Structure 1
């Protein structure tokens, strides 16, 4: 039998990978706890923008004591919250993990479904209701937490907490326990996928009604307004008065409002509640106290809501970053007391970045505007189809960002193929001011598209059974309207493949991680592969990331 020889070019790579793998176990073996924090909508430049104003122990700890990657970008086109959270923990694209949008049209069910929807698993203590069940069953890939559980037959424990259900469910994976905030009563809730009934400590925390302490509270500036970059711009016309919070400081939280519990998500108080619940969980479940590594995921959602309501370059967003900095410092002190920072592998990143409000960009001289979903399927496009092909607009089923879904049954009644209708619709859409791209499903399947960086992100976003027939891309700094918890239109949005939306911070700290700043391009998909190497387990099933050698060399 002939010996098989590796090509010479492979040898340096193999030495590097195996050396990194071997090094991972040299500092106190494996960490007792992996703490992966996601700060929803924390664009990559925000911590550096306000660096001189940061306190000790939060972002400054991550920058000065950890490894800071300053050039981390996602490589998928639709930079929404569920997509980013799924990518961070599966280490892969929407094309592989299946979370292609916030919502998508299910061909079999004939309706739009939510990314974490599963009616088989109603909320604990609630009657089943259509569209209200929650579970990670739409996630097609394993997460890094799942792989940890698989590696030791369930002896590691995985937990996930967020204000948003999707911010907790997707990071928790298939084997974790997830909790999220109820905007109706201020409690943290879960579904029957995870428990038949709530653990005692959850019941106790909810019974104390911690959210009620914020009734008639006021969100005020941490410092004198003159010290803020955006101190002179507290009231701009594009800012939104959501939940009665107003558009200028101080922002009153009205305790007698029917929106009281919901309003907390658009103030720093929402993150404070999340942190308190997470710390209670860590103590009650004794995470990091056993023989096997435990995993805790926390997603802080408030930065996202504030960015949407006031814009990312606003006084509110600036004050919030400073408050998140304090929140992290307090959390890290808690972790040091409970587990030890040297025994905890800490990862901090974000699910996406953020675009500026279009009106703000207009004030700087950019010719941009706002688009609505209706723009994509409005009468002019249907009129164009009729003029070109003689077909009625019924061939367009709906637009659910970022996809146009066609009605294949109606297309069969015409003399045209699905591919021909796709092309015609895409060519009509591209005529709309503010739209720069419309790539068809057929072109993606055949590979018959220009392999530009943006088009490759569209391919990474494409899943055969979930994506629509046409992926629509708005031009830079243009805005697609969409609705949040209310029908109020909002100030700013993300969801594009442009760098302001793909750019996120990426920090590794604790567990002997070296202090260094890395400028080479990396992706958040690399996180899961790096954790896997540190824990000496296999990466998630669809992983496309690479272990970050700068982190591993520090062991």
Structure 2
């Protein structure tokens, strides 16, 4: 009798293990890459008790969270972040070195996704003259397309064009962004790079969208404003007002504020912009029938309103806290939709951010914490005085931007000077400017290997073909902007520490405090899908997150 029971138990365990292995071996029908623009890691912990069960807490409880994940390059800007997440590498390889940068070949400032070879699809404006042409490596979705012989669909969407285009790379079936640049514009559009006309589902969404309804509402706090104890007082001097409003306080009557804040453009700067993005993501999943075929589809969703709100009000604002409490509800709604439309065991998602942000420096100064504002005009004057003093010329500088100096090589040669000597002298002298902490020449970055620390981040962000001749790092908590609101871009922890959470098919439950880099997401998802990593990948597979 005991032998029979033992035999039955062994058979049961054998088939249970086979069933479990079969489920684990089954590839997801849909991968969803979620990027939250300007989300600090501590927003997960700071507001944890106020989040519901179905949004952030659902994927934290049932997914795998990296608690010590960072960006490993400078600059931490939106375009660079989105490119790095999905290519698995840094600007020295993928070529996106900022949102805007000085092109030393064209001798002009360029925007990361501008491309005059293409036209807008969706209206008669110019916002669709875009493409991923400046991205020089493949993305996860490119590799998924190649692995499936161009079967399956890859779709990117965001209010921001760069946040829709760069994640889905070169082979996307579509990338869509929101156009409200003129008062009468209120459409999701794309570029002729992808298609000749909008799909019916996009045209239908534009015809029936809820942007107008959202902007006729009042933004008040989700809960009693007195319960927002994680934030500064509502009325303070560190936040920038909306046009037409005397103080940066609640309530914000959007219907009354629209006319003075770009009409439909206002939706970008309120939490409803995130809700609106979820609306469009749902329409994309239904309209493209994502997750419904034998092939794996890929959807990238980037939430931009968090960034616009963060810039205006700062890290510790009631507006920021309320935005994340509302985003938590939007995510719960989206996850529930995925369960129903795609199936609970049929999708894998990851959630991360393209950068974080610093506390408003003026606020830090009020607390006697070291923080600074840098005057760009004063800085340029200082640099020209250096070249005049040592080389008797103020014509040796072609451009100063993104904490980089581009030399005028033709002028330097005409004066019989050595470009490396000019760059080295600038690097030595520029640190005498009161807001610059470190400086290094491009030549040094080409000949020296910095293995860790902030100089390693600077090196990872340096692209030999596109970057400047002298690169600088300001003191921590230094911004070039007005004293209200905040920004990002540095290699310091406040800008680099972001959430990375994996969830769904093929993902373990758990967390890790080991240090990982943003570039580790792409090879990890590639490994899960059993495909090649993007062709420039320099990250590693996060083995402990995978079943």
TM-score (norm 2): 0.92
* Alpha-carbon distance, 1:94 to partner: 0.5
The counterpart of 2:503, out of the listed 503, 509, 512, is 509
Q: Distance in 2 between matches of 1:200 and 1:489?
A: 46
The counterpart of 1:146, out of the listed 142, 146, 152, is 142
Are 1:52 and 2:49 counterparts?
yes
* Alpha-carbon distance, 1:59 to partner: 0.5
* Alpha-carbon distance, 1:188 to partner: 0.9
Q: Distance in 2 between matches of 1:368 and 1:125?
A: 45
Match of 1:17 in 2: none
- Indicate conservation of the 8 Å contact 1:101/1:402, yes or no: no
Match of 1:485 in 2: none
- Indicate conservation of the 8 Å contact 1:405/1:470, yes or no: yes
Deviation string, structure 1 residues 92-127 (Cα, Å, up to 9, x no partner): 011000001111222222211101111101212566
Deviation string, structure 1 residues 433-487 (Cα, Å, up to 9, x no partner): 121122211111222x765511111111111121111222111111122xxxxxx
Alignment of 1:79-158 (within 5 A): 79-124=76-121, 133-158=129-154
Match of 1:381 in 2: 383
Alignment of 1:153-192 (within 5 A): 153-176=149-172, 177-184=174-181, 185-192=185-192
Are 1:523 and 2:523 counterparts?
no
Residue 501 of structure 2 aligns to a residue whose secondary structure is strand
Match of 1:322 in 2: 325
Match of 1:226 in 2: 226
- Structure 1 spans left out of the alignment, 5+ residues: 1-22, 482-487
* Alpha-carbon distance, 1:135 to partner: 0.4
* Alpha-carbon distance, 1:389 to partner: 2.6
- Structure 2 spans left out of the alignment, 5+ residues: 1-19
* Alpha-carbon distance, 1:230 to partner: 4.2
Are 1:546 and 2:543 counterparts?
no
Alignment of 1:402-421 (within 5 A): 402-421=403-422
Q: Distance in 1 between matches of 2:450 and 2:527?
A: 35
- Indicate conservation of the 8 Å contact 1:358/1:369, yes or no: yes
Give the aligned length.
521
- Indicate conservation of the 8 Å contact 1:376/1:429, yes or no: no
- Indicate conservation of the 8 Å contact 2:63/2:503, yes or no: yes
- Indicate conservation of the 8 Å contact 1:28/1:343, yes or no: no
Match of 1:29 in 2: 26
Q: 1:127 to 1:397 in 2, by over 3 A?
A: farther
Deviation string, structure 1 residues 398-455 (Cα, Å, up to 9, x no partner): 21213221111111122321111112222332111121122211111222x7655111
Match of 2:6 in 1: none
- Indicate conservation of the 8 Å contact 1:342/1:512, yes or no: no
Residue 525 of structure 1 aligns to a residue whose secondary structure is helix
- Indicate conservation of the 8 Å contact 1:43/1:504, yes or no: yes
* Alpha-carbon distance, 1:209 to partner: 3.9
Match of 1:476 in 2: 476
Deviation string, structure 1 residues 515-551 (Cα, Å, up to 9, x no partner): 2121111112111111111111010001111111122
Q: Distance in 2 between matches of 1:543 and 1:381?
A: 37
Alignment of 1:443-458 (within 5 A): 443-447=444-448, 453-458=453-458
Q: Distance in 1 between matches of 2:214 and 2:123?
A: 26
Residue 332 of structure 1 aligns to a residue whose secondary structure is helix
Match of 1:437 in 2: 438
* Alpha-carbon distance, 1:372 to partner: 3.6
- Indicate conservation of the 8 Å contact 2:140/2:534, yes or no: yes
Q: Distance in 2 between matches of 1:501 and 1:307?
A: 13
- CA RMSD after TM alignment: 1.9
Q: 1:141 to 1:260 in 2, by over 3 A?
A: same
- Indicate conservation of the 8 Å contact 1:306/1:316, yes or no: yes
Q: Distance in 2 between matches of 1:396 and 1:255?
A: 43
Q: Distance in 1 between matches of 2:24 and 2:388?
A: 68
* Alpha-carbon distance, 1:490 to partner: 5.2
Residue 321 of structure 1 aligns to a residue whose secondary structure is helix
- Indicate conservation of the 8 Å contact 2:52/2:328, yes or no: yes
Are 1:337 and 2:334 counterparts?
no
Q: Distance in 2 between matches of 1:280 and 1:434?
A: 48
* Alpha-carbon distance, 1:231 to partner: 5.3
* Alpha-carbon distance, 1:258 to partner: 5.9
Q: 1:222 to 1:359 in 2, by over 3 A?
A: same
The counterpart of 2:60, out of the listed 60, 63, 72, is 63
Q: Distance in 2 between matches of 1:230 and 1:250?
A: 19
- Indicate conservation of the 8 Å contact 1:37/1:349, yes or no: yes
Deviation string, structure 1 residues 329-352 (Cα, Å, up to 9, x no partner): 000000000011321111000011
- Indicate conservation of the 8 Å contact 2:258/2:266, yes or no: no
- Indicate conservation of the 8 Å contact 1:78/1:402, yes or no: no
Q: Distance in 2 between matches of 1:144 and 1:305?
A: 27
- Indicate conservation of the 8 Å contact 1:55/1:325, yes or no: yes
Q: Distance in 2 between matches of 1:194 and 1:24?
A: 39
